[in-house]
Amino acid sequence: MDLKDVFFKEGFIFNLKGNDKVEVFDEMIEVLYENNRIKDKENFKYAILKREEEGPTGIGNGIAIPHGVSDSVNIPTIIYGYKESGLKYESLDNTDVNMIFMIAVPKGSNNEHLKILSQLARALIHKEVVEGIKNAKSPEEILKVF
């Protein structure tokens, strides 16, 4: 599966408004719900927060990849959010996060979840990819980077 296939046009938020991790998660989950990517906001939020309890999803360099596997997910999806001022976030390098890639995967497709997560993490290791995303002003520009 190509990463470009799990993004969706409305799933790019270039000005996250939330002031903490949970507010940002709520904002992103609302977009997933409005676009029929998930059918139950609370159920999916529970999956995301439960995963957060297991350890940091802030991978460093201003990036976080919160992810959840839930029966409330309709289709494997990545939603992207950007917050210029950054957020306090448990991160491996103890820095604020301003790029969030939230992964939603239906229960029963754990293999899919791991594939998406590893492809995304591998892409985000490259400095030119991160810079390209950080400087992007449209979904199309981000997708070109991948």
Residue from 21, 45, 67, 113 carrying the catalytic annotation:
67
| Segment holding 123, helix H or strand E | helix 110-123
Q: Is residue 128 exposed (0-12), middle (13-18) or buried (19+ Cβ within 10 Å)? A: exposed
**Helices 41-54 and 21-34, axial angle in degrees (round to 10):** 140
The tokens for 99 are 């790029």
Q: Is the dihedral of CA 23, 105, 103, 58 positive or negative?
A: positive
d(CA 123, CA 145): 9
Q: Is 67 a catalytic residue?
A: yes
- What are the catalytic residues? 67
